[in-house]
Amino acid sequence: MNRRLFALLLVIFPGIAFAAGGGYPLDHMTPNLDDKASLQRGAQTYMNYCLGCHSLQYQRYKRTADDLEIPEGLMLEHMVFDPNTKIGDLIENNMSKENAKFWFGAAPPDLTLHSNLKGGPDWLYTYLRTFYEDDSRPLGVNNLVFENVGMPHVLAGLQGRQVRPECMQVPRIASNGGVVRDPITIEIVTEEMCGTDLLDAGHYPLVKVEGTGSMSSDEYDTLVYDLANFMYYVGEPARMDRTRIGVYVLLFLAFFYVFALLLGREYEKEFHK
């Protein structure tokens, strides 16, 4: 495509910039900022597993503690590992950009605003669940939504290892586009599909290696949900206030409406004399 036309299209439809990055369909998650327990668990996971590499340098511990209703003392005790850190500090780490670039090939970016980018919390939720083993990569892992990723699968101990099989059984599709079923047992008829045929048909199989990972897949999905929920909160903490203030604004408007109506009637009396 002509480059200028493409640039113009990017301005008009920013979505295509993201759509262009790999065809894997994102799994959906609905953030819930009222679920404080989920946000607290997400914050805990973040501090334990992510902060070592990814700072949240636009967010302070104090604000997080207040918004998530975590007592400040508990936060300092259980979520902050550096004893010199104060509750008013920004959530930073000590990783040097140069070293990180040398170790991973790319420096881990700050993630404060990440949930506002790249497909939002859905992207994070999917990304953290789609690491798979790939011996051709320096760290031995690859990712379905972030191809050739430079980040290790830091949650592998919880999720377990996943492999991407070359072939898998998929439902056979009839010429009318429907799924073929056995006429007697009405079970879905499957057939083996391999390699690029799988991708063309929209299948991206990931299979967990039995006996790896300390969590069941449901438990792991919940952990990642909470983490994505927390990162959604961090992306714009004011969102919490906004919904609360919004309710007051609507109540005020409803209240004010009565007086505006009465005042309007008074004025009407004047000019209908």
Cα–Cα distance measured from residue 53 to residue 249, given in angstroms and rounded to the nearest whole number: 41
Cα–Cα distance measured from residue 76 to residue 82, given in angstroms and rounded to the nearest whole number: 9
Interface map 177-216 toward ligand HEC (x if CB under 6 A): ----------------------------------------
Q: Per CB under 6 A, does 108 bind ligand HEC? A: yes
Contact segment (CB under 6 A) with ligand HEC among 24-32, 51-59, 132-140, 195-203 equals: 51-59
Contact status, residue 71 vs residue 65, Cβ threshold 8 Å? yes
Contact segment (CB under 6 A) with ligand HEC among 29-37, 79-87, 107-115, 189-197 equals: 107-115
The number of CA neighbours under 13 Å toward the Cβ of 144 is 25
User: Minimum distance from CB of 51 to ligand HEC (Å)?
Assistant: 8
User: Which pair of tokens denotes residue 214?
Assistant: 């300390």
Interface map 152-181 toward ligand HEC (x if CB under 6 A): x-xx--------------------------
- Site size for ligand HEC (CB under 6 A): 22
User: Minimum distance from CB of 159 to ligand HEC (Å)?
Assistant: 10
Q: Per CB under 6 A, does 119 bind ligand HEC? A: no
Cα–Cα distance measured from residue 174 to residue 180, given in angstroms and rounded to the nearest whole number: 6
Which of residues 235 and 237 has its CB atom nearest to ligand HEC in the complex? 235
Single out the residue of 38, 39, 75, 114 in contact with ligand HEC (rule: CB under 6 A): 114
Cα–Cα distance measured from residue 83 to residue 87, given in angstroms and rounded to the nearest whole number: 11
Which of residues 124 and 141 has its CB atom nearest to ligand HEC in the complex? 124
Q: Per CB under 6 A, does 129 bind ligand HEC? A: no
Contact segment (CB under 6 A) with ligand HEC among 21-29, 64-72, 81-89, 143-151 equals: 143-151
Q: Which residues contact 145 (CB under 8 A, 6 or more apart)?
A: 21, 22, 24, 26, 123, 126, 127, 130
**Number of CB atoms found within 10 A of residue 147's CB:** 10
H helices present in the chain, as ranges: 3-12, 15-19, 36-49, 61-67, 72-78, 97-104, 120-127, 156-159, 195-200, 217-235, 238-271
Q: Per CB under 6 A, does 234 bind ligand HEC? A: no
User: Which pair of tokens denotes residue 28?
Assistant: 């959906």
The DSSP bridge partners found for residue 56 are 91
User: Minimum distance from CB of 50 to ligand HEC (Å)?
Assistant: 3
Contact residues for ligand HEC, defined by CB under 6 A: 49-50, 52-54, 104, 106, 108-109, 111, 114, 118, 124, 127-128, 149-152, 154-155, 227
